[in-house]
Amino acid sequence: MHIQNKENEKNKFYKDHTLIINELERSIKIYNWDFILSFLPAGSFLVGGYIRDIILGRMSLEVDVDIVVPSNPIDIGEKISDKFKGKLIVLDKERGVVRIIMNHISIDIAKQISPTIEGDLKSRDFSINAIAFLFEKNCLLDPLNGIKDLELSLLRTYSTQNLLDDPLRILRCFRFVSELNFKIDHQLIYFIKKNRGKITLAAEERINYEIQRIVRGINAVESILLVQKFNIFGFETLYKDSFFIDLESINYELLSQSEKDEFLPLFFIVQILDEFSLEKFKFSKADIVKAKLLRKWHLILRKRNISQLNELDRFVLHKELEGILPSFIFYLPQNLRTDWLNRWRDKDDKLFHPTNLLNGDLIKQHLKIDNSPLIGKLLYYLSKELAFNRLHNLDEAIYKAKRWIEQNAPKCD
């Protein structure tokens, strides 16, 4: 949930540093992390997304704080975590970066890397993240005009070398397009196109994190379109495959907000990554299985009209896609989408939610048979009969089960 400021207040923020400082000081108390300030040495400053989000009026209930200190960040982090029973994680021992986690607050403390604060800010990824609040002097420092770029909704870097130093920052551009609906500076676009291949030099887990943020942003469609347009991951064969569809022509309002939140991320992921890449970037086995199922059924429906599927094919489709059907809905002919969604929303629809009237124990009890692979096949058959309304109650299920066993049980001479 985001806490939005009134538009006129937001506009004032861009023109008056005092208002930003007042809001920063108020938020530090509201979000309850002012207790760490006494542990910070002279010369410490707040930087990054916390300030950016205060200016944009989009603070969330989960608080991420980035603080730069002149020296000894690990010692400072240990003292704070010991005093307030937080969890301390050393993110980078060599560079001196630690994270303290306490309830809803995550605080990163890093060592200043340049002789001056201005030099430190000029080494950051984008101008919108290079605004500092100096605790000791109670003032803002904005050497790269980040506040103006926030007003323009513009993503710009001071030096492309900053992005080459950590190529993941190239991918982060698309996260800010997705989450903030920002435009990318023309010079930065040229740089991205030229250097897209360097993204994979970053750790796979970090790439995974950025992709997860991209596909969940409020403007994910615009961001995914750019990822496709620039072919960020270099998958020529993926983009030649018609699995990739026109995202701008889709009516996403077919889905409820909760359905969008749950199912669109998977839909977007398979628009930019194949299964090999999902494995490479450390996606979960469950996500990879889901992606494979979406691709499998898309390829089947490319070759055969959905009306040509026989009963077994339709049953298998709904059994395999039951949990993720809204992620697949836009691969269907447009005239079927609303009907299929409505049927999927009906939990009593036995085709879209295959179930059974019997289980293995009841079958063994009523049919007097032992455990065998035959029971699984029988349950599959009964579930299909129920899905197509040829089965209505327990007695019918038992009767059909007996008939099926008579016809399919191995015969002995």
Residue by residue, what is the 3-state secondary structure of the chain? CEECCCHHHHHHHHHCHHHHHHHHHHHHHHCCCHHHHHHCCCCCEEECHHHHHHHHCCEECCEEEEEEECCCHHHHHHHHHHHHCCEEEEEECCCCEEEEEECCEEEEEEECCCCCHHHHHHCCCCHHHCCEEECCCCEEECCCCHHHHHHHCEECCCCHHHHHHCCHHHHHHHHHHHHHCCEECHHHHHHHHHHHHHHHHCCHHHHHHHHHHHHHCCCHHHHHHHHHHCCCCCCHHHHHCCCCCCHHHCCHHHCCHHHHHHHHHHHHHHHHCCHHHHHHCCCCHHHHHHHHHHHHHHHHHHHCCHHHCCHHHHHHHHHHHHHHHHHHHHHCCHHHHHHHHHHHHCCCCCCCCCCCCCCHHHHHHHHCCCCCHHHHHHHHHHHHHHHCCCCCCHHHHHHHHHHHHHHHCCCCC
Structure tokens at 127: 């101008």
CA atoms within 13 A on the CB side of 236: 1
Q: Enumerate the β-bridge partners of residue 134.
A: 45, 139
Bin 252: left if φ > 0, else alpha if -120 < ψ < 50, else beta. Answer: alpha
| Cβ(390)–Cβ(357) below 8 Å | no
Residue by residue, pLDDT tens for the chain (413 residues) are 343 444 444 444 445 789 999 999 999 999 889 989 999 999 999 999 999 999 999 877 788 999 999 999 999 999 999 999 999 999 988 888 999 999 889 999 999 999 999 999 999 999 999 999 999 999 999 999 999 999 999 999 999 999 999 999 999 999 999 999 999 999 999 999 999 999 999 999 999 999 999 999 999 999 999 999 999 987 665 555 556 788 999 999 999 999 999 999 999 999 999 889 999 999 999 999 999 999 999 999 988 999 899 999 999 999 999 999 999 999 999 999 999 999 999 999 999 999 999 888 888 888 878 788 888 999 999 999 999 999 999 999 999 999 998 898 776 55
Structure tokens at 253: 């309002």
| Residues belonging to the chain | 413
Q: How far apart are CA 389 and CA 377, in angstroms?
A: 19
pTM, whole model, 2 decimals?
0.88
**Structure confidence at residue 2 (pLDDT):** 41
Distances (CA, A) of 136 to 37, 42, 132, 139, 154: 10, 6, 12, 8, 30
Location of structure tokens 């499998």 = 296
**Structure confidence at residue 14 (pLDDT):** 45
Give the CA diameter of the chain: 96
Q: Enumerate the β-bridge partners of residue 87.
A: 101
Q: How far apart are CA 339 and CA 269, in angstroms?
A: 25
**Structure confidence at residue 133 (pLDDT):** 97
Q: Which residues of 162-171 are buried (b: 16+ CB within 10 A; e: fewer)?
A: bbeeebbbbb
Which domains are delineated in the chain? 2-152 (3.30.460.10), 182-345 (1.10.3090), 360-408 (no CATH)
**Structure confidence at residue 9 (pLDDT):** 41
Distances (CA, A) of 398 to 198, 354, 389: 62, 18, 15
User: At a CB cut-off of 8 Å and minimum separation 6, what does 386 contact?
Assistant: 350, 354, 355, 356, 357, 397
**Structure confidence at residue 325 (pLDDT):** 98
Handedness of CA 195, 200, 202, 207 (dihedral sign): positive
